[in-house]
Amino acid sequence: MPFTIAIDGPAAAGKGTISKAVAAHFGFAHLDTGLLYRAVGAKTLDGTDPIAAALALMADDLETDNLRTPEVAQAASKVAVISEVRAALVDFQRAFARRAGGAVLDGRDIGTVICPDAEAKLFVTASAEVRAERRYLELAGKGMSVSREEVLADVKERDTRDRERAEAPMVAAKDAVVIDTSSLGIDEAVAEAIAAIEARRG
């Protein structure tokens, strides 16, 4: 039986960690939809047209290691305002969401636009400062030379662009359970997410 779990929220709020843990718990497939926009954004860095890049996107494009850089994140946020780019990625996401056996999709507009009828919806958030600190530690841990100030500015800039765009802006769906991870550890956040989903599974 298809069962879709939509997990939205801003950058570095813990969506990815929670999504993976939830998918493992329920035995569902997981799609990080940010990777689709990152793959398109990465292609535009060498001058490729974003709409052409979105229309030609292949599974292999998601496998590259270099999609997790701040530069690619910014490029992803920029291509994500283009309605033709978003439209090109809709069918793939919806087909993934309805696969037999259940699916977890995380992103910005899953509960509002991609899967408005998802059986369970979460909106995972945290303060910009907490999110920037987590992202800073993650990037520094990978050996990237970034400052805390740069990471905070990057997070805030993306938040504003993702929230204020005309098409599919980042917003909690009316029926989403909001989880603020600012003062939660990973285990607590995952437990809250699983409890909220279990409540919808009935």
* Residues in touch with ligand DC (CB under 6 A): 11, 33-34, 37-38, 73, 76-77, 80, 107-110, 158, 162
d(CA 105, CA 118): 10
> What is the smallest separation between the CB atom of 55 and ligand DC, expressed in angstroms?
17
Closer of 77 and 181 to ligand DC (Cβ): 77
d(CA 133, CA 153): 11
> What is the smallest separation between the CB atom of 142 and ligand DC, expressed in angstroms?
15
Per-residue tokens: 167: 């098409």
> What is the smallest separation between the CB atom of 165 and ligand DC, expressed in angstroms?
8
Closer of 66 and 195 to ligand DC (Cβ): 66
**Beta pairing class for 103-107 and 29-32:** parallel
d(CA 125, CA 76): 19
| Spatial strand order in the sheet of 4-8 | 29-32, 103-107, 4-8, 120-125, 177-180
> What is the smallest separation between the CB atom of 124 and ligand DC, expressed in angstroms?
11
Closer of 35 and 177 to ligand DC (Cβ): 35
